[in-house]
């Protein structure tokens, strides 16, 4: 897809799915701003992407409304906003072990963060623009230790549908990934990451685990398709079928 003259903000663009999306958009000719909480990670991402001239970085904590407002005040006009950001550290716990503060961080990053991005970002978007957020398979295939993430993913998809109505004609969508090989799995499975992902790959109809590029491709579809809004696009290798 040709993204020449498009301006795209990717929150969470310093790693994983967001970084894969940033690479795709830069290569397609877009002007891209990747945003995240850590300046070191953003600097590393810029280096990984080859320091392209069309790439900017911005430090922001999307759970802080003052920082989100300041981000958009300085960024100017946009065509698309994407957020892949999620803080799930400590959230995958059985209920007796669950720390409420960890649960709150998931809610803040995956629900209130997108809400703040929509509140302050919508006035900066072109009428033909879009917002895309990332939910996840846990909303459909919840497991023990995953109650908080399942609940927040489901809530985010509800938010997406409501925003698509309220912010029209701006399009608002979600991508729901399945198991994707990203850094998050080090938090979820620890030393058993490779074993855990390999076992799921054997169960999935596609015979493999997802890669960040798979999700980036799906987000690019939603960015480019002007007739899709209020939709959750499932990119999960058939996980909902097993």
**144 to 52, 135, 148, 149, 193: CA distances (angstroms):** 43, 18, 10, 11, 17
The separation between CA 227 and the C-alpha centre of its own chain, rounded to angstroms, equals 21
Q: What are the start-end ranges of the E strands in 60-211?
A: 78-83, 125-134, 171-177
Q: Which of 83, 109, 130, 135 is catalytic?
A: 135
Rounded Cα distance, 144 and 84, in Å: 24
Active site residue 130: no
Rounded Cα distance, 200 and 129, in Å: 36
Tallying the residues shown for the chain, one arrives at 242
Active-site residue numbers? 135
């Amino acid at each position: 897809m040709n993204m020449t003259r498009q301006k795209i903000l990717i929150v969470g663009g310093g790693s994983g799915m967001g970084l894969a999306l940033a690479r795709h958009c830069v290569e397609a000719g877009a002007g891209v701003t990747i945003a995240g909480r850590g300046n070191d990670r953003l600097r590393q991402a810029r280096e990984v992407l080859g320091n392209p001239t069309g790439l900017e970085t911005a430090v922001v904590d999307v759970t802080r409304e003052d920082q989100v407002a300041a981000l958009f005040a300085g960024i100017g006009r946009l065509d698309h906003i994407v957020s892949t950001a999620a803080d799930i550290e400590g959230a995958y716990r059985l209920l007796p072990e669950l720390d409420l503060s960890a649960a709150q961080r998931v809610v803040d990053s995956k629900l209130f963060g997108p809400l703040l991005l929509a509140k302050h970002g919508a006035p900066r978007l072109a009428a033909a623009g879009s917002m895309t957020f990332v939910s996840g398979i846990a909303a459909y295939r919840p497991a023990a230790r995953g109650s908080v993430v399942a609940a927040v993913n489901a809530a985010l998809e509800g938010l997406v549908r409501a925003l698509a109505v309220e912010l029209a004609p701006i399009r608002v969508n979600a991508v729901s990934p399945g198991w994707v090989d990203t850094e998050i799995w080090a938090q979820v499975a620890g030393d058993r990451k490779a074993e855990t992902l390999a076992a799921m790959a054997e169960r999935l109809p596609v015979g493999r685990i997802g890669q960040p590029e798979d999700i980036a491709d799906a987000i690019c579809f939603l960015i480019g398709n002007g007739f899709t809004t209020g939709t959750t696009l499932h990119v999960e290798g058939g996980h909902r079928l097993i």
